[in-house]
Chain A
Amino acid sequence: MEHQKVIQQICADLGNDPKRMMDILWTVQDRLGCIAPASMGLIADLTHTQRVVVEGVVSFYAFFHQEVQGQNVIYLCEDIIDQHAGFNALKETVESCLGIQPGQMTKDGLFSFYLAPSIGMCDQAPAALINQTPVTKLTPTLLKRIINNLRKGKPVAATIPKLGDGNNSHPLIQSMVQNNVRKQGEVLLSGHQNDEGLSKALSLSPAEVIDYVLKADLKGRGGAGYRSAEKWKIAADTPAKSRFLICNADEGEPGTFKDRLLLTERAHQLIEGMTIAAYAIEATQGILYLRAEYRYLQPYLESVLSERRQKALLGENISDTDFDFDIRIQLGAGAYICGEESALISSCEGKRGEPTTKPPFPAVYGYLGLPTIVNNVETFCNLPPILAKGSDWFRSIGTEKSKGTKLLSVCGDCDRPGIYELPMGIKLSEVLSSCGALNTEAVQVGGASGVLIGRSDFDRQLCFEDLPTAGAIMIFNSQRNILKIVNYFMHFFIEESCGYCTPCRVGNVFLKERLDKIMNGLGEPADLEYLRNLSATVRETSRCGLGHTSPNPILSSMENFPLVYAALLKEHPSGEQAGFNIQKALDESRIIAKRRSLIYDPDFSSGEGRGNQE
């Protein structure tokens, strides 16, 4: 009864609007500890939708829970970088301190324990989210202390050693996260522009702003590298009542954390950039889609928004013009696929984060059917400097086809992991030497969906024409097991596939199974052919970018580290499949039937020698 009132209130506060399902579910879970099956029917009634729709959303996102959670919730980051940095010891610590496995709650209801794929803290791994507070450079000792203090009712914030640098110690953030800025380039991280870019934009017509950015040749920083202003032009040229602007801050690619820095230290620049883009496409509303792992930044970001509203830099009549634009923050709930723009739009609409079929592209038919522009955090942050300093200045940095600088999230086996802002076209080897990477064996460029390259490719350039990346540079030294790295990425894709299309949902599982077989020493040369063929199928027939890129780690490691595979493969001339183990297949049956095999248990017959008696 009590719960019912709470839910009614929450839904009413959000206008009983099914489009705000994400916010409704977050608030219900915050208040009631979980989104119980009984709540779903009520939420469905109140928002005039069906229970199955609500359950569909709840079950889609990793951070939504149908079972009651403990008072304290621990998410341990299981990223490959964290695994190399001591994840196993932390997992054992939680398991021994609390006596629970991932996915379980302690009997006293004090703790729940989950694993998270990547929480954007790879530069300070191993990390965890404890009660939504990021805890980084975690050691078993610190973890034990946090758990003991939580038992005594002391919050995580009281136990963390010290606050991070810069805005991380802002009263509204109060986090131990370190920015780890190692190199400030000339576009994004050097000095504030104080809304110079926005004033410049407002002095131009929207079409002129588009031309300006077109001339600067800014390409999207989310990975695909589409020219931003061209996308805007499509939206601007689509006749519509209004248009919509979304900032993709769902930085889910394992090994990426550059948006975390921009959101922490360049929030004004980001919102300014969004405002400029909104002016260019004549959008009046926007969304900042913030990944749930960065929820600790939300109060601060809200304060930036309201500060800008007070200064008339956001809201109605921006800078005394007739341009209106406002932004709301939409919190995600833990789904990698929501980094894909159409999935992100689905999520903003309160639905499961499933990609849609394209065309129509979001620029023509996006959020609520409106022409919608989705750009990455870094792309928006580039706009104010471009407007303020001119497109020629921007074009002078970088290479022929890749202008400007790129924020790189460098992590893994190096002395100085962190953020590097470097001109486009920089050689990977230069990045490796500036971050102090020694004895590097392999580098995963572009996160899980990127490519794994070896020493002979370290002289390649990071830019759209050679090695494109959304920023993730994961470094692995010669101590690391290449196949284990690839296998983790496949595990990641299996977990994060939305399951809509078969090639991705099933294909990735089969790819990992075959890789497991090779890693278990049962591989045959024909397995490589199988991996290549299946990878091609997954790539060509999947519906969205996840499946188009998920075979990359396997394909690139097969190409760049052929000896790693070759060493594990051998022919089995008998014609039998090495992966099949008849003894294992019979174990359970022997127990249930309480007898042994007439064919395969040697004391009944000699080996497999029954054939002649048949």
Chain B
Amino acid sequence: MSKRKVRIATTSLAGCFGCHMSLLDIDERIVDLMAIAEFDRSPLNDKKTFTRRCDIGLVEGGCCNEDNVHVLKEFRKNCDVLVAVGQCAIMGGLPVMRNAIMHSEDPLRECLDEAYTTSKVLNPSKQIPNDPALPLILDKVYTCAQVVKIDYQIPGCPPSGDTLWAALTALIKNEEPTLDYALIKFD
């Protein structure tokens, strides 16, 4: 009997989907990947819930709102190995810049005012988006590892297709992933 395919889930939290785009940069190797693995919950196949427990979860982006936290906890619950992919997931990335507003009495309000009411960015209504369907924003941006335990981190903004391939294939083979210097050298 042939071995079952490794199940992979992916999600993008407070990220830009750049890491997912980079995953597609593995190009034709995706055919090899599909021979040994399958995607469960992932924006790549538009599956929005877990259908079964997964071996590997790839998380792009950190947590800036309650939905991010919720999804991340779901991933932790449903994945054996959870990987933070890219700078936003590891350190907060661009979104975490709002954490720099820390000396204010009310940092969150100051951040929203700066973004929607007082700044010169065109927003004629001066309204702060507050549709009931929008998830509540967190007091600050949290990295994935601040919310749940993370097993591996793949650095890069985004990590290159080659980097993701090297890490992913090692994880699929149940080996300790190592990244060559060239794969994590950014300048």
Contacts and interface: CB of A to CB of B under 8 A. Distances in A.
Contacts of B114: none
Nearest to A576: B148
A194 B61 CA distance: 73
B76 A593 contact: no
B97 to A, nearest CB: 16
Contacts of A589: 108, 136-139
Chain B CB count within 10 A is highest, among A585, A593, A597, for: A585
B141 to A, nearest CB: 10
Contacts of A612: 49
A432 to B, nearest CB: 43
B66 A575 contact: no
Contacts of B172: none
Contact of B130 (A582, A593, A611): A593
Contacts of B67: 599
A251 B169 CA distance: 58
Interface string A571-614: 00011110110101111111011110111100000001011101
Nearest to A612: B49
Contact of A599 (B48, B70, B142, B147): B70
A586 B138 contact: yes
A575 B135 contact: no
Interface in B51-79: 66-67, 69-70, 73-74, 76-77
A576 B73 contact: yes
Interface residues of A, number: 27
A584 B139 CA distance: 8
A592 B112 contact: yes
Contacts of B147: 576-577, 580
Interface string B70-110: 10011011000010000000000000000000000010110
A239 to B, nearest CB: 42
Contacts of B106: 588
B146 interface: yes
A577 B145 contact: yes
Contacts, number: 75
Contacts of B128: 592
A200 to B, nearest CB: 59
Interface in A103-120: none
Nearest to B133: A598
B135 A599 contact: yes
Given A579-B146, A592-B112, A586 B66 contact: yes
B132 interface: yes
B29 interface: no
A202 B77 CA distance: 80
A460 to B, nearest CB: 39
Given A588-B106, A589-B136, A611-B70, A580 B142 contact: yes
A585 B73 CA distance: 15
Given A579-B146, A593-B136, A600-B66, A588 B76 contact: no
Contacts of B142: 580, 585
B5 interface: no
A608 to B, nearest CB: 7
A575 B149 contact: yes
B49 A614 contact: yes
Given A592-B108, A599-B66, A599-B67, A608 B73 contact: yes
Contacts of A611: 49, 70, 74
B54 to A, nearest CB: 14
A584 B147 CA distance: 13
A305 B157 CA distance: 62
Nearest to A573: B149
Interface in A548-579: 574-577, 579
A575 B77 contact: yes
Contact of A587 (B48, B49, B69, B139): B139
Complex A-B, nearest 3 residue pairs according to Cβ-Cβ distance, in ascending order: A589-B136, A575-B76, A585-B138
23 contacts: A575-B77, A576-B76, A576-B147, A577-B146, A577-B147, A579-B146, A584-B139, A585-B139, A586-B138, A586-B139, A588-B108, A588-B109, A589-B108, A589-B139, A593-B136, A595-B136, A597-B66, A598-B66, A600-B66, A608-B70, A611-B49, A611-B74, A614-B49
Interface of A: 574-577, 579-580, 582, 584-590, 592-595, 597-600, 608, 610-612, 614
